[in-house]
Amino acid sequence: MEVKEGRRYDGAMKIRKIEHVGIACRDAEKAAEFYRGILGLPEESRETIEPMKLRVVKIRASETVLELLQPCEGEEVMTKFLAKNGEGIHHLCFEVDDIAAATTELREKGFAPVWEEAHVGAGNKWVNFLRPRDTGGVLIELNQPRP
C-alpha cells in the first residue's frame, strides 16, 4: 500500500475496536441461517435502513459483529458491488470516540471521506467511509454510537 507523505498516525484519532465486518449478501436471511444454524452464532438484530435501501442482519461473533448487508430494490452501491465481486466481505468498520473529529482529521491528512459529515447508519450509529482507493483496497467505515 502506498502511503503519501504526511499520512501517518499521530495518535489524535481514538479507535476503540473493530466494530463489525460488513458482508455483502444477495439474501441476508439465507446468510444468517448459516451463521446461526451452522456456526451457532447469535443474531443480534435486524433492520431495514430506508434511506440507504439496505436490509441488515447483525450476527454476534465474540467482540465483533458480522453485518450481513442485502440491497433493497433501488439500492445502487451494494448492488454494483455484488454484480462485480459477488457475495463476500464488503468493508471493515472501526468504532471511534468522535466521528466528527475523526472525519476532520482524516480530511486534514489528505483523505476524502465519502460524506462531508457523518450519516445515520445501521444500529442508529453515526457512520462515514473512506474509499478503497485511499486505503490499500479496503473500504473502511468509521462509526460512533449516538446518544
Q: pLDDT tens digits for 123-138?
A: 999 999 999 999 999 9
What is the set of domains in the chain, with CATH numbers? Answer: 15-144 (3.10.180.10)
Maximal C-alpha separation, the chain? 48
The residue-averaged pLDDT of 43-53 equals 95
pTM given for the model = 0.86
Residue 38 CA from chain centroid, whole number: 24
Q: What angle do CA 37, 43, 46 make, to 5 degrees?
A: 125
Query: Lowest mean pLDDT: which of 29-33, 56-60, 87-91, 143-147?
Result: 143-147
Least Cα distance to 51 among 67, 28, 75, 83 occurs for 75
